[in-house]
Structure 1
Amino acid sequence: MKDAFEGVQIFGGTGSGKSSGSGQAIARAFMEANLGGLVLTAKTDEVLTWKQYAKEAGRETDLLIVEQGAPLKFNFLRYELRRPGIGAGHTENLVNLFCSVLEASDRRHGQGGGNDSYWQRTLKQLLRNAIDLAILAADDVDLPSLYKIIATAPRSIAEAADEKWQADSVCFTLIEHSRDKAKEKGRMQDYELTRDYWLKEFPGLAIETRSVIVSTFTSMADCFLRGMLRDLFCTDLNFTPEDSFNGRIIILNLPVKEYNELGQFAQVLFKFVWQRAVERRIPPGVPRAQAEKTIRPVFLWADESQFFVNSYDALFQSTARSSRACTVYLTQNLPSYLATFSGANSRAEAETFLGNLQTKIFHANGDPTTNNWAADSIGRTRQVQFYGGMSEGTGARGGGGMNQSAGGSQVFEYLIQPQEFTMLRTGGEECDLQVDAIIFQGGRRWVTASKTAKTTQNFIRHVFPQLYS
């Protein structure tokens, strides 16, 4: 469990056996250890694989499969408003939910810059005031309500004073309705800030600025306001991330390959909510020894993880061990992460994230960037290279002689050459259902024994049986 809490990253090219080799070995171990967890899906057949794992472990009743047409519903805003914990209901936490999803869809968070920072701040301001208005007026919040507030907000100072607009606007009706409630709750300062934003500051923005802010929100919210995503995430609330703390395994059967951006948005959003729930589940002041005895470990699983990572993952993984959470991410190669963490600092962000996943499992790979990075991660050592030669000379009169030379030099060379990652076995009948892997773990000393000596090194070669080819 100590190793699992420190995180696992599995690399392997398409058909390398990463899912059916090391992936299935770890997944079955989690199931047999009775862990709860969250499974994100990219491919359409992943739910069948997890059903098989659950059947083998006798845990079929522990599965909570979230999919189109299922009775399971998760109104994410209502959950964040009413969830357990003293931090529940804070507007800023609700705002960050949207920003996390926008980050996944936009893929520009690594670019930064003044303009980007400005638009991020103004979008948060819009969301903050819409959420506060909904809570002040109705003690509840959901995405359709926020959409109506923003869609019916005044577009000019003159319109804000127009009686016809006031009579038809949901935004103005809620402003009027929330005044007395805010006074009862002792939140008049929040009310006045919210009122002034909607009646003065928002309509006073330049038309171009206001349209960009509004369209940024509506373009993201639109997919959640119709069809499957509205049914799953904007109606009822009958399951929560806390179910996994009691041993349930939540499978988001909304594969990216089937639902495209809709599936990605939904899973990134729920992953973010789940991660924050995990981080706060151990009460302050509880000693680690006591937590180890009373807090059930949980796992986060993502095959094709490049679809689901964002900047919050590095922060989550930095404290996952004390939260008793096991992260396992599987992807083809390093460039898939570099493309996700785009921008000038993409490599630094990707390596920061990967640095917090202590165990790296490398399967067969044809990508030179990944193979060189793997070789660099394992490191170099001082090695002695010997050389020798022999030559024969022929003189002008037919005579000659033999010349011999020999020598050696010390060089720093890779412990494992990048080429070796291209030759690992990938399973299948031609490989006797054997999948080769090279496992590296930061801070670990592996002792391997041969007929002549024992060797200590920071990696180990391992063969996984391919149970699902």
Structure 2
Amino acid sequence: MRNLSMKIMTILRSIFHLLTRQITQRQQTNKEERKASSAKEEWPLEMPLLAFSKTDFFTLRNAFTGVGIFGATGSGKTSGSGQTLARSYLTHNMGGLVLCAKKSEAAQWLEWAKQEGREKSIIHVTPEKNIVFDFLGYEMRRATYGTVENCLNLFNRVIEITTKSDLSQGENAYFYQACQKLLRNAITLCHLAYGKITLRDVYEVIISAPKDEQEKKSEQWMESSACFKALTLCNKREKRKRRLQKHPQTNQELVLCAQYFLEEYPAFGDRLRSSITSIFTACADPWMRDDLWKLFGRDRDTVDPKTGKKPFYLDPDLCKQGAIILFDFPVKESYTGRLAQALYKYMWQQHMERRDVEKDGGRPVFLWADEAQLFVLPEADAEFAQTARSSRIATVLLSQNLSNYYVAMGQGEHGKNQTESLMGNLGTLIFHCNSHEITNRWASTIAGNEWRYTASTTSGGSSGFSSSESGSSSNDGTSNSMSVSETLRTILEPREFTLLATGGKEFNYQVEAIVMQAGRVWNATASNYIHATFDQRN
């Protein structure tokens, strides 16, 4: 009888736990559904963010397709359309990442945030502050599979950012591919030996790898080499596994690493070995020093010896909660400013593209880059522009002209194609006053051509006198004709972009621009472009 009672109690407890789990899951589901519903109510796609005319609005849906702003220095692109967009994003409680090229930009954004009541949302990142973002540690914590290849991809971005070029193209392609193999094996070895991947560990493994057969057999090398230390640690661990397991499996990754560092690498010629090694070490060097190391190289649990506190962790996820990360590492002040902002931008983009807007509340976030050509990564940014919309990301890129992007994306047709891919995926283009012929001609081409009827008249007259043996005669007459022809003409001539108002006292602080959106006919103009005016005193 007692046993039966215990069985009944066990069954009842199981049912209770099952029901409790189901209720918890249902509550969590309801919470996520309420979050998604709340986002749709607070930030509907058709919500107007600003007006270009009384009947033409720029909506949240438009913002998610990206904005490109062009204008010469002094055209009012930042104080005109830039300011209007920025303050609208602030007003509507969007989170975001702001990159700073000039020293004055951070102060400008702080003032805008204060005016819109968002100063408490700002995370002001400066070199002096104890802030960290261990990008490799972040990737390892995030990734559920493919850790080595994901980290290799990050190292490639570091190389691309540092060299400002795509080494996989052109005459360096062979050495770049060989460097990829070196990095893949070094990253794998660090992961196997230490269970983590850090820039310093990878660097130490690579610079201490044996340079020839003689060094490989040297006791001095074995005692001092980080590469040999990591291989030995892995080998000991594998031996312990084989003793404990009845049917141990060979660790294929360790075998490949050992073959590479103990057989392939020492057999390389001096030129090949030095070339592929220097590609990595030269690019890694600045990231292991000063401000870049302080921000990206330290572990997030590192305690500051002066304050006894851990650093503030610059989690991109904060933007989904409404934070605005103001990255005050001005490019014009320091070379490291471009490196730091370009890498964090890439990590931020990756993070936001992976978001589940149905679960995280769906708050819109924005990426803001004035002097955007300083921060672009050719392939990464072109791909990001294609998919940002579904992740509720509003990208705003400001630059003087199209050629800035050509230079930043790389020389030749490849760079031009990458630029055109990026620009082609920005849904709204805003053109301020500009004297750059290529940009103005491109803007004119986007507006397109139209058939126009042209009427012309011609008139003429004739007079003459003739004589002969039989006598003489004279005549006086006129003739008129009119013709109508159909001519294909540009809708907007390139010169029109040179005549737009640039603000300031001369133009009563009014900044003019021509705005175009893919597939849109504006109500105010019944055309595919609209003249917009922005008040600098907004």
1:463–1:110 distance in 2 versus 1, CA, 3 Å: farther
Q: Which residue of 1 aligns with 2:7?
A: none
Pick from 255, 258, 280 the counterpart of residue 195 of structure 1.
258
Query: In the alignment, is the contact (CA less than 8 A) between 2:449 and 2:490 conserved in 1?
Result: yes
Pick from 148, 158, 169 the counterpart of residue 112 of structure 1.
169
Give, in whole Å, the separation in 1 of the partners of 2:381 and 2:348. Answer: 12
1:431–1:203 distance in 2 versus 1, CA, 3 Å: same
Query: In the alignment, is the contact (CA less than 8 A) between 1:123 and 1:217 conserved in 2?
Result: yes
Pick from 238, 242, 246 the counterpart of residue 317 of structure 2.
242
Query: In the alignment, is the contact (CA less than 8 A) between 1:10 and 1:360 conserved in 2?
Result: yes
| Letter matched to residue 365 of structure 2 | V
Give, in whole Å, the separation in 2 of the partners of 1:131 and 1:108. Answer: 23
The 5-angstrom pairing of residues 232-311 of structure 1 reads: 232-237=295-300, 238-260=313-335, 262-282=336-356, 290=358, 294-310=361-377, 311=379
1:247–1:405 distance in 2 versus 1, CA, 3 Å: same
The 5-angstrom pairing of residues 352-391 of structure 1 reads: 352-390=421-459
Q: Does structure 1 residue 22 correspond to structure 2 residue 81?
A: yes
Please state whether the residue corresponding to 1:92 is helix, strand or coil. helix
1:364–1:393 distance in 2 versus 1, CA, 3 Å: farther
Pick from 529, 532, 538 the counterpart of residue 459 of structure 1.
529
Q: Which residue of 2 aligns with 1:179?
A: 235
| Letter matched to residue 215 of structure 1 | S
Q: Does structure 1 residue 211 correspond to structure 2 residue 274?
A: yes
- Percent identity between the aligned chains? 39
Please state whether the residue corresponding to 2:502 is helix, strand or coil. coil
Give, in whole Å, the separation in 1 of the partners of 2:286 and 2:316. Answer: 22
Q: Which residue of 2 aligns with 1:103?
A: 160
Pick from 101, 104, 110 the counterpart of residue 42 of structure 1.
101
Give, in whole Å, the separation in 1 of the partners of 2:496 and 2:249. Answer: 67
Query: In the alignment, is the contact (CA less than 8 A) between 1:111 and 1:345 conserved in 2?
Result: no
Please state whether the residue corresponding to 1:256 is helix, strand or coil. coil
Q: Which residue of 2 aligns with 1:418?
A: 494
The 5-angstrom pairing of residues 427-438 of structure 1 reads: 427-438=503-514
TM-score, L = length of structure 2: 0.79
Q: Does structure 1 residue 315 correspond to structure 2 residue 378?
A: no
Give, in whole Å, the separation in 2 of the partners of 1:150 and 1:49. Answer: 44
Q: Does structure 1 residue 31 correspond to structure 2 residue 90?
A: yes
Give, in whole Å, the separation in 2 of the partners of 1:13 and 1:393. Answer: 56
> 1:219-244, CA deviations, whole angstroms, 9 ceiling, x for partnerless residues?
11111111111111111332221121
Q: Which residue of 2 aligns with 1:451?
A: none
Query: In the alignment, is the contact (CA less than 8 A) between 1:110 and 1:343 conserved in 2?
Result: no
| Letter matched to residue 296 of structure 2 | F
Pick from 319, 323, 347 the counterpart of residue 416 of structure 2.
347
Q: Does structure 1 residue 8 correspond to structure 2 residue 67?
A: yes
1:395–1:463 distance in 2 versus 1, CA, 3 Å: farther
1:421–1:443 distance in 2 versus 1, CA, 3 Å: same
1:394–1:178 distance in 2 versus 1, CA, 3 Å: farther
Give, in whole Å, the separation in 2 of the partners of 1:9 and 1:110. Answer: 27
Q: Which residue of 1 aligns with 2:392?
A: 324
Shift of 1:392: 6.1
Pick from 401, 412, 424 the counterpart of residue 333 of structure 1.
401
Give, in whole Å, the separation in 2 of the partners of 1:111 and 1:395. Answer: 80
Q: Which residue of 2 aligns with 1:167?
A: 223
| Letter matched to residue 266 of structure 1 | A
Query: In the alignment, is the contact (CA less than 8 A) between 2:406 and 2:416 conserved in 1?
Result: yes
Please state whether the residue corresponding to 1:386 is helix, strand or coil. strand
Select between 349-358 and 192-201 the one with higher mean Cα deviation.
192-201
Please state whether the residue corresponding to 1:255 is helix, strand or coil. coil
Please state whether the residue corresponding to 1:302 is helix, strand or coil. strand
Shift of 1:390: 4.7
Query: In the alignment, is the contact (CA less than 8 A) between 2:341 and 2:375 conserved in 1?
Result: yes
1:110–1:216 distance in 2 versus 1, CA, 3 Å: closer
Shift of 1:330: 0.5
| Letter matched to residue 191 of structure 1 | L
What RMSD in Å do the two structures reach over aligned CA positions? 2.3
Give, in whole Å, the separation in 2 of the partners of 1:220 and 1:353. Answer: 26
| Letter matched to residue 407 of structure 1 | S
| Letter matched to residue 351 of structure 2 | A
Shift of 1:47: 0.5
Give, in whole Å, the separation in 2 of the partners of 1:323 and 1:102. Answer: 27
Please state whether the residue corresponding to 1:344 is helix, strand or coil. helix
Select between 334-343 and 96-105 the one with higher mean Cα deviation.
96-105
1:408–1:208 distance in 2 versus 1, CA, 3 Å: same
Query: In the alignment, is the contact (CA less than 8 A) between 1:9 and 1:330 conserved in 2?
Result: yes
Shift of 1:190: 1.4
Give, in whole Å, the separation in 1 of the partners of 2:485 and 2:162. Answer: 53
> 1:309-341, CA deviations, whole angstroms, 9 ceiling, x for partnerless residues?
122111111111111111110011111111122
Pick from 283, 289, 292 the counterpart of residue 226 of structure 1.
289
5+ residue gaps, structure 1: 283-287, 449-454
Please state whether the residue corresponding to 1:437 is helix, strand or coil. strand
Q: Does structure 1 residue 94 correspond to structure 2 residue 157?
A: no
| Letter matched to residue 164 of structure 1 | Q
Shift of 1:395: 5.4
1:110–1:195 distance in 2 versus 1, CA, 3 Å: closer
Select between 235-244 and 325-334 the one with higher mean Cα deviation.
235-244
Give, in whole Å, the separation in 1 of the partners of 2:85 and 2:537. Answer: 12
Query: In the alignment, is the contact (CA less than 8 A) between 1:129 and 1:197 conserved in 2?
Result: yes
1:179–1:416 distance in 2 versus 1, CA, 3 Å: same
| Letter matched to residue 93 of structure 1 | N
Please state whether the residue corresponding to 2:266 is helix, strand or coil. coil
Query: In the alignment, is the contact (CA less than 8 A) between 2:320 and 2:364 conserved in 1?
Result: yes
Please state whether the residue corresponding to 2:486 is helix, strand or coil. strand
| Letter matched to residue 434 of structure 1 | Q
5+ residue gaps, structure 2: 1-59, 242-247, 301-312, 467-473
